[in-house]
Amino acid sequence: MCLARCTTKLVLFVFSRGAGQWRAVPYDGWISLMTGEDNPASVEPQGKLLMLHTDTMGFSAINLPPYPRAEEVTMTFAETAEGKFGMFTIEDDGNFGDLCYHLWCGTLRKARDGTTRWQSNARIPLPLKHRFRFLGIAGGYLLLQVIPKGTVPEGLEMECLSLNLQTLQLERFCGTREMIWDASLYAGFPPSLSAPTI
């Protein structure tokens, strides 16, 4: 998938392996998704996530779980073991001095009343006195970089952890002496969006 921001709307380009071609899915903005909301004029509603339904290739807005300090929560999304839409967040325990973090895993499920809600699946403790960054998701694993508290001495090896999305087991993946700032994980490259030129 490739998301492009045009002057009047967003366009998502999706590559279909079955058809062997790209398809454009336009998105006109939040207002078309805000039907029935208290403030339909809101352009970027707080606590919402834009979700692409791959069966219909349409968008919808879903509510994010409430967080006491939502602006400080780091999150990423992946398919979970049951094939459900899963959210992973790095949260602290609220005790700022100790740097005690855990990885929260939740899935989006349909409630009996027809609404969708986040259900907590697991809280995985992370090593103490460190901070964490998501590096990406590839091959059924969520990758995190472990960042030591305070200034990082030059040459110190920092760990990278992997979370198996099927078993939710966390283990050491590798070590690096460099901070990974802008990681992009790629697998199974589709063909270019444009025709080859000379």
Q: By C-alpha distance, which of 13, 35, 36 is closest to 24?
A: 13
96 pLDDT tier (thresholds 50, 70, 90): low
101 pLDDT tier (thresholds 50, 70, 90): confident
- What residue type is 157 in one-letter code? E
pLDDT for 53 equals 74
pLDDT for 86 equals 83
CA distance linking residue 1 with residue 75, whole number of Å: 19
Domain coordinates in residue numbering, the chain? 1-63
40 pLDDT tier (thresholds 50, 70, 90): very low
CA distance linking residue 87 with residue 99, whole number of Å: 22
CB distance 176 to 160 below 8 Å: yes
Mean pLDDT, to the nearest integer, of 22-48? Answer: 57
pLDDT for 42 equals 39
Q: By C-alpha distance, which of 146, 134, 133, 141 is closest to 187?
A: 141
Q: What is the 3-state secondary structure (H, E, C) of 104-157?
A: EEEEEEECCCCCEEEEEEEEEECCCCEEEEEEEEECCEEEEEEEECCCCCCCCC
38 pLDDT tier (thresholds 50, 70, 90): very low
pLDDT of 91 above 70: yes
pLDDT for 147 equals 78
pLDDT for 65 equals 77
Least confident of 44-53, 141-150, 188-197: 188-197
pLDDT of 186 above 60: no
Q: Is 25 helix (H, G, I), strand (E, B) or coil?
A: strand
pLDDT of 166 above 70: yes
For residue 27, how many C-alpha atoms fall within 13 Å in the half-sphere facing its CB? 20
Query: What is the rounded average pLDDT for all residues in the chain?
Result: 72
Mean pLDDT, to the nearest integer, of 148-171? Answer: 78
In Å, what is the CA distance from 164 to each residue of 67, 145, 173? 25, 15, 11
CA distance linking residue 50 with residue 63, whole number of Å: 9
Percent of the chain scoring above 90 in pLDDT = 0
CB distance 184 to 136 below 8 Å: yes
Residues 6 or more apart whose CB falls under 8 angstroms from that of 127 comprise 146
pTM over 0.85: no
Q: Which residue has the higher pLDDT, 163 or 181?
A: 163
Q: Which pair of structure tokens corresponds to residue 190? A: 């589709």
